[in-house]
Amino acid sequence: MKDELDSVESSAPSAGVEHLRSIPFGPSLVVEQHRLPNGLNILLLEDHQAPVIAYHTWFRVGSRHEKPGKTGLAHLFEHLMFNETESLPAGEFDRRLEEAGAESNASTWLDWTQYNVSVPREAFDLVVELEAERMKNLVLRDPQVTSEKEVVANERRYRVDDEVEGAVNELLWSTAYQKHAYGWPTIGWMPDIEGFTTSDCQQFYRTYYAPNNATVIVCGDITPEQTLNKISAAYGDMPSAELPVEDVNPEPPQVEQRILEIKKPTTTEKLALAYHGPALGDADHLPLSILGEVLFGGRASRVVKRLVRNLELASDVRIFVGPFQHPGLIEIFASARDGIKAEELLEIIDQELERVRTEPVAPSEIARALARFELSLLSGLETAEGKASTLGFYETVLMQPDAAFQRLEALRQLTPSDLLRVARRFFRDSGRTMILVRTQQEAA
């Protein structure tokens, strides 16, 4: 079957397609990067370890590209893209993929929106056809837009308005950011969701769902030449768009601590902290991520060991270092045990943060953190889907599809001095946002 499929297309390169570069990806694989005349970026990774293909489409548009009053539009589109097209009635896209044994999904975040499909090799032609069709010919009329607005509004009620951690996270970001677009939620504010018009959606689609704002990534059991020809034939007639210049409002330095106290229907108190962190492309992002592992990564980490295992003050404590194109947040979240105040959790966390600001981390702790970080990164590259996701993410955020392996190499150069530096740079109380979550009982 493989030879029969390969013989369908000529191996001659498609007319007008530019080969940009060949990029080593790990010890034995190579990514071939091409660009169509209309600006579509293409990454192809040939890997025959399994007869499957991962097909991703990443658009350089996320919630940060929206405007006040129109927040949540990028996320709404994630829903709209599974609807009717000019040649596919509602539900047909999913039905045809499911019949072919495919799995599909999508996600939207601050910097990007991505669509992914995993299929048996034999269904590749179908995926190219369907993905190109919805990128070209999505139907955007009042009934479709109204229906999906209701879906998204209900999603917001469930995931944010009626969910403690979702509401706290949204409040944390909107308090930490006063100017930058990272301050509004990806799902959007409810009045904005309710106020979207069909015209808003049509303009957004024409502007951002253009080939020169997209990257198609294909990984797995492919022959690059035939794959490139099929993509070129399917997408080549799409016009490029004039992309707007992004109007970035840099976040001013935070010079004083911001503290909020709220009451929520939770049985125990919770603590949420945010420090302004680096962009993913900042050289300090990697050592900061390792420091996060030292402090919060697993049962042997410093804060988890003290708060959860030894003192039994918390049931859960974790950190998140934002991997974003612009400077993001370092989030720390802790959930107290029964009868424990949020301030008790804060005291221990502050002690451990002060310790990494003043004392070098032991080499053994760094080695453990490095091992955890490396395992997490490499385990995400075991499948065609994982490879495509990694390539799409780093290409979209950094324009460096092989950045995962660059980060692995940089890991080996880290020193205790690097961790001291990032602890002093980022873990400053004056630049901290804090939310103390009280139980609903105290509100009575």
Looking at this protein, which amino acid is placed at residue 103?
E
In sequence order, the β-bridge partners of residue 435 are: 260, 272
What percent of the chain has pLDDT above 90? 95
Structure-model confidence comparison of residues 6 and 309, the more confident one: 309
Contacts of 14 (CB under 8 A, 6+ apart): 36, 228, 229, 232, 233, 236
What is the C-alpha to C-alpha distance for residues 297 and 59, in angstroms, rounded to an integer?
32
pLDDT, average across residues 132-148 = 96
Q: Report yes or no on whether pTM surpasses 0.85.
A: yes
What mean pLDDT is reported for the chain? 95
User: Is the model's pLDDT at 213 over the cut of 70?
Assistant: yes
Contacts of 382 (CB under 8 A, 6+ apart): none
User: Is the model's pLDDT at 2 over the cut of 60?
Assistant: no
pLDDT, average across residues 302-309 = 98
> What local confidence, expressed as pLDDT, does residue 441 receive?
65
Structure-model confidence comparison of residues 65 and 4, the more confident one: 65
> What local confidence, expressed as pLDDT, does residue 3 receive?
41
What is the C-alpha to C-alpha distance for residues 396 and 415, in angstroms, rounded to an integer?
29
- What pLDDT, in 10s, does the model give residues 323-334? 999 999 999 999
In sequence order, the β-bridge partners of residue 108 are: 113
User: Is the model's pLDDT at 151 over the cut of 70?
Assistant: yes
Burial class of 175 by CB neighbour count within 10 A (0 to 12, 13 to 18, 19+)? middle
User: Is the model's pLDDT at 58 over the cut of 90?
Assistant: yes
User: Is the model's pLDDT at 360 over the cut of 90?
Assistant: yes
pLDDT, average across residues 272-295 = 98
Task: Collapse the DSSP code of 434 into the 3-class scheme (helix H, G, I; strand E, B; otherwise coil) and give the result.
Answer: strand
pLDDT, average across residues 183-197 = 98
Quick one: which of 227, 28, 261, 39 has its CA closest to 128?
A: 227
> What local confidence, expressed as pLDDT, does residue 345 receive?
98
Confidence of residue 199 (pLDDT cuts 50, 70, 90): very high
pLDDT, average across residues 409-423 = 96
In sequence order, the β-bridge partners of residue 46 are: 220
Give the sign of the dihedral formed by CA 297, CA 299, CA 302, CA 303: positive
Confidence of residue 231 (pLDDT cuts 50, 70, 90): very high
User: Is the model's pLDDT at 15 over the cut of 90?
Assistant: no
Neighbour order of strands in the sheet with 214-220: 18-25, 29-35, 41-46, 214-220, 52-59, 113-120, 103-108
* Cβ-based neighbour number of residue 178 at 10 Å: 12
Domains in the chain, please, with CATH? 2-235 (3.30.830.10), 258-443 (3.30.830.10)
User: Is the model's pLDDT at 9 over the cut of 70?
Assistant: no
* Backbone φ, ψ for residue 8 (5° rounding): -65, -40
Query: What does DSSP say about strands 41-46 and 29-35: parallel, antiparallel, or unpaired?
Result: antiparallel
